[in-house]
């Protein structure tokens, strides 16, 4: 069967894939085209018919007409970016936010949701909801191990018995059948942190039968529990024993004690790759991480059972002193109370202040201040806990792709991809072709997303066009909600989403399902 197909392709493409005499929907000409795969850009034209790239080729051979012609002179044409780690599910489920503009304006055309062990559950329900009200970008689902665990045994700190583990596997199977591309864990967070390595391996075997990936927020990115290096080794072991490929989310050296350890972490991963395992990572280009204040500094054992249980323990005089001691240690690991900036909180006037500032105004020590803030509701912090050396070192690895980890309050939700271009490509740390490759086709390859991520004949037409002079982020810690600038066009599934810098209000995103590919036996 293979030879006739090859001959057919060769016949069709002889003479540079000359277009037939038909009207195309969109023609992009005069742009510098990075196809996501090749290092060298080309000055070629791209034509789109319906949702597909119908022609790529020489400018002077373009003889067909098109309903819309984009003159991309002086602009860069690239595959739409794929963001492998977001919390956009919180926006997509809301019909007023499902346009996904913070991501769209970065050039992102596909977001992955369900990271960090926490996923919209069940996927089928959310897929229907998204379909009903429409979504601005494509979406890829992961199934969260924490979510599955919570369904079966709640938020408690204990091990599942045999039957419970079997139930978890069955739920995982159900979610994979609903189209998930893999399983995520948040082993740093409760309840994921209560799971042993063996539990994840057992669950992973189910995911591996679907050729799904393992996406993990490591158990420890610093020195909280088992340490960064041991956590990376744990992820590799899980991949090796279960058969899943390993993708480490937002790789970093978190906290002063592990700064400059990126070289040894890279060595561990390179060795695993050399041994035949597929290990990759994602990263956002900021020196501050962001997470829930409770997750950042409160000890895990104290939260077992949920927030109510935490405060019952906190009110108990004996346990209170333990909780406060460990909270204080965790604050120090994060670099001190002045390094923890509240970016979102139940009480709005906490926002924009550090724990140090709040502790001074409340007249309480920093650890007690944390609990006063938490009593007023959920709070998120930006934690200035990374060193520029490690950020650039990871970024240069060919197995590290761009991810926003977009979440309310941190500028990365609005700025990640353009920021990486503005500071790290223009600054010379990485090449433009590598930036594009590792924001599109490499990511598609890691997540096994077919027919997207590269500008290839027959692929879905997810294409962005940006101005190399002005493409950049505007969001910062003062105002994290500013859309990025410099993106001229975004075409998603062949339809115009951003037209000459303006959002068309059309929701052109689709729900991508892994099993759609399975059915067509592409694996
Ligand atoms: Zn995470």
Query: From the CA of 369, how far away is ligand 1's center (Å)?
Result: 25
More confident residue, 59 or 218: 218
Query: From the CA of 460, how far away is ligand 1's center (Å)?
Result: 29
- Interval 454-479 mean pLDDT: 96
Query: From the CA of 282, how far away is ligand 1's center (Å)?
Result: 11
Judge contact between 223 and 213, C-beta under 8 A: no
80: which DSSP letter? Answer: P
- Give the pLDDT of residue 3: 44
Query: From the CA of 302, how far away is ligand 1's center (Å)?
Result: 20
pLDDT digits (tens, 9 = 90+) for 307-353: 889 999 999 999 999 999 999 999 998 889 999 999 989 899 999 99
Query: How far apart, in whole angstroms, are the C-alpha atoms of residue 18 and residue 12?
Result: 8
Query: From the CA of 55, how far away is ligand 1's center (Å)?
Result: 39
Task: For residue 351, give the nearest of 382, 372, 327 by alpha carbon.
Answer: 382
pLDDT score of 134 more than 50: yes
Task: For residue 341, give the nearest of 358, 362, 364 by alpha carbon.
Answer: 358
Query: From the CA of 216, how far away is ligand 1's center (Å)?
Result: 8
Query: How far apart, in whole angstroms, are the C-alpha atoms of residue 205 and residue 242?
Result: 5
pLDDT score of 179 more than 50: yes
- Give the pLDDT of residue 333: 87
Band (pLDDT 50/70/90 cuts) for residue 407 is confident
Query: From the CA of 185, how far away is ligand 1's center (Å)?
Result: 9
Query: From the CA of 254, how far away is ligand 1's center (Å)?
Result: 12
Query: From the CA of 87, how far away is ligand 1's center (Å)?
Result: 9
Query: From the CA of 248, how far away is ligand 1's center (Å)?
Result: 10
- Give the pLDDT of residue 516: 62
Mapped onto helix, strand or coil, the DSSP state of residue 508 is coil
Query: How many helices and strands in the chain, by DSSP H and E?
Result: 20, 23
Judge contact between 350 and 324, C-beta under 8 A: no
- Interval 187-215 mean pLDDT: 97
Query: From the CA of 217, how far away is ligand 1's center (Å)?
Result: 5
Judge contact between 388 and 287, C-beta under 8 A: yes
Band (pLDDT 50/70/90 cuts) for residue 115 is very high
- Give the pLDDT of residue 256: 87
Q: What is the sign of the dihedral through the CA atoms of 495, 498, 499 and 504?
A: positive
Query: From the CA of 101, how far away is ligand 1's center (Å)?
Result: 21
Query: From the CA of 235, how far away is ligand 1's center (Å)?
Result: 14
Query: How far apart, in whole angstroms, are the C-alpha atoms of residue 138 and residue 463?
Result: 12
Cα dihedral value 470, 473, 476, 481, nearest 10: 110
Mapped onto helix, strand or coil, the DSSP state of residue 94 is coil
Residues 6+ apart with CB under 8 A from 124: 178
- Interval 381-394 mean pLDDT: 94
Residues 6+ apart with CB under 8 A from 376: 345, 346, 347, 350
pLDDT digits (tens, 9 = 90+) for 64-98: 899 999 999 999 999 999 999 999 999 999 999 99
The pocket of ion ligand 1, defined by CB under 5 A, consists of: 116, 217
Query: From the CA of 118, how far away is ligand 1's center (Å)?
Result: 10
Query: From the CA of 62, how far away is ligand 1's center (Å)?
Result: 46
Query: From the CA of 485, how far away is ligand 1's center (Å)?
Result: 26
- Give the pLDDT of residue 12: 42
pLDDT score of 8 more than 70: no
Report CA 146 to chain centroid distance, whole Å. 17
Query: From the CA of 204, how far away is ligand 1's center (Å)?
Result: 19
The reported pTM is 0.90
Query: From the CA of 119, how far away is ligand 1's center (Å)?
Result: 12
- Give the pLDDT of residue 291: 87
Query: From the CA of 116, how far away is ligand 1's center (Å)?
Result: 5
Q: Taking all residues of the chain, what is their mean pLDDT, rounded to a whole number?
A: 93
Query: From the CA of 291, how far away is ligand 1's center (Å)?
Result: 8
Band (pLDDT 50/70/90 cuts) for residue 15 is very low
pLDDT digits (tens, 9 = 90+) for 260-290: 999 999 999 999 999 999 999 999 999 998 8
CA angle centred on 498, ends 54 and 484, rounded to 5°:
125
Query: From the CA of 288, how far away is ligand 1's center (Å)?
Result: 13
424 — phi, psi (to 5°)? -100, -35
Judge contact between 287 and 386, C-beta under 8 A: yes
Query: From the CA of 127, how far away is ligand 1's center (Å)?
Result: 22
Query: From the CA of 360, how far away is ligand 1's center (Å)?
Result: 30
b/e 228-261 (16+ beta carbons within 10 angstroms → b): beebbbbbbbbbbbbebbbbbbbbbbbbbebbeb
- Give the pLDDT of residue 477: 86
Judge contact between 372 and 337, C-beta under 8 A: no
Query: From the CA of 231, how far away is ligand 1's center (Å)?
Result: 14
Query: From the CA of 110, how far away is ligand 1's center (Å)?
Result: 18
Mapped onto helix, strand or coil, the DSSP state of residue 62 is coil
Q: Is 214 exposed, middle or buried (0-12, 13-18, 19+ CB in 10 A)?
A: buried
Which residues, listed in sequence order, are joined to residue 406 by a DSSP beta bridge?
Answer: 86
- Give the pLDDT of residue 6: 41
- Give the pLDDT of residue 22: 75
Query: From the CA of 9, how far away is ligand 1's center (Å)?
Result: 43
Query: From the CA of 435, how far away is ligand 1's center (Å)?
Result: 22
Q: Is 502 left (phi over 0), alpha (psi -120 to 50) or beta?
A: beta
Query: From the CA of 436, how far away is ligand 1's center (Å)?
Result: 23
Query: From the CA of 249, how far away is ligand 1's center (Å)?
Result: 6
Judge contact between 105 and 483, C-beta under 8 A: yes
Task: For residue 335, give the nearest of 372, 281, 290, 386 by alpha carbon.
Answer: 386
pLDDT score of 518 more than 60: no
Cα atoms in the Cβ-side hemisphere of radius 13 Å centred on 47: 22
- Give the pLDDT of residue 20: 52
b/e 416-447 (16+ beta carbons within 10 angstroms → b): bbbbbbbebbeeebbebbbbbbbbbbbbbbbb
3-state SS track over 374-400: HHCCCEEEEEECCCHHHHHHHHCCCCE
Q: Which helix (H) or strand (E) holds 469?
A: none
Judge contact between 148 and 176, C-beta under 8 A: no
Task: For residue 203, give the nearest of 230, 221, 182, 228 by alpha carbon.
Answer: 182
Query: From the CA of 81, how far away is ligand 1's center (Å)?
Result: 20
Query: From the CA of 113, how far away is ligand 1's center (Å)?
Result: 11
Judge contact between 453 and 82, C-beta under 8 A: yes
């Amino acid at each position: 069967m293979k030879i006739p197909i090859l001959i057919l392709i060769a016949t069709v493409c002889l003479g540079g894939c000359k277009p037939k005499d038909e009207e195309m929907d969109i023609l992009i000409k005069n742009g510098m085209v990075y196809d996501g795969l090749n290092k060298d850009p080309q000055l070629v034209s791209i034509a789109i018919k319906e949702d597909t790239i119908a022609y790529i080729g020489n400018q002077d051979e373009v003889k067909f007409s098109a309903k819309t012609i984009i003159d991309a002179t002086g602009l860069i044409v690239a595959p739409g970016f794929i963001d492998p780690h977001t919390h956009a599910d919180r926006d997509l489920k809301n019909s007023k936010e499902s346009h996904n503009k913070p991501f769209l304006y970065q050039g992102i055309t596909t977001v992955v949701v369900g990271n960090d062990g926490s996923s919209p559950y069940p996927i089928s329900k959310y897929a229907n909801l998204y379909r009903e009200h429409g979504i601005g970008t494509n979406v890829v689902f992961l199934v969260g191990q924490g979510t599955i665990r919570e369904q079966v045994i709640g938020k408690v700190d204990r091990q599942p018995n045999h039957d419970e583990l079997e139930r978890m596997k069955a739920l995982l199977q159900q979610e994979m059948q609903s189209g998930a591309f893999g399983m995520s864990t948040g082993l740093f967070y409760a309840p994921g942190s209560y799971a042993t390595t063996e539990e994840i391996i057992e669950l992973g075997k189910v995911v591996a039968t679907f050729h799904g990936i393992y996406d993990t927020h490591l158990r420890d990115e610093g020195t909280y529990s088992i340490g960064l290096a041991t956590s990376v080794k744990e992820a590799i072991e899980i991949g090796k024993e279960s058969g899943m490929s390993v993708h480490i989310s937002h790789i970093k050296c978190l906290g002063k004690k592990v700064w400059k350890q990126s070289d040894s972490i890279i060595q561990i991963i390179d060795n695993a790759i050399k041994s035949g395992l597929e290990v990759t990572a994602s990263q956002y280009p900021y020196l501050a991480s962001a997470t829930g204040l409770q997750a950042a500094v409160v000890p895990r054992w104290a939260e077992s059972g949920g927030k109510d249980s935490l405060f019952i323990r906190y009110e108990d005089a004996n346990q209170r002193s333990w909780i406060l001691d460990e909270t204080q240690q965790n604050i120090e690991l994060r670099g001190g109370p002045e390094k923890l900036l509240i970016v979102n909180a139940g009480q709005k006037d906490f926002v924009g202040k550090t724990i140090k500032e709040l502790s001074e105004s409340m007249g309480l020590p920093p650890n007690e201040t944390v609990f006063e803030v938490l009593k007023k509701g959920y709070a998120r912090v930006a934690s200035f806990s990374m060193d520029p050396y490690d950020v650039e070192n990871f970024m240069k690895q060919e197995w590290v792709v761009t991810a926003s980890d977009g979440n309310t309050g941190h500028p990365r939700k609005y700025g990640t991809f353009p920021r990486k271009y503005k500071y790290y490509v223009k600054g010379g740390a990485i090449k433009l072709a590598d930036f594009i490759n590792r924001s599109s086709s490499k990511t598609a390859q890691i997540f096994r997303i077919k027919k997207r991520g590269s500008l290839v004949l027959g692929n879905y037409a997810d294409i962005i066009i940006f101005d190399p002079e002005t493409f950049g982020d505007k969001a910062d810690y003062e105002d994290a909600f500013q859309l990025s600038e410099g993106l001229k066009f975004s075409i998603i599934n062949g339809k115009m989403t951003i037209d000459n810098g303006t959002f068309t209000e059309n929701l052109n995103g689709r729900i991508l399902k892994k099993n759609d590919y399975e059915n067509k036996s592409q694996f």
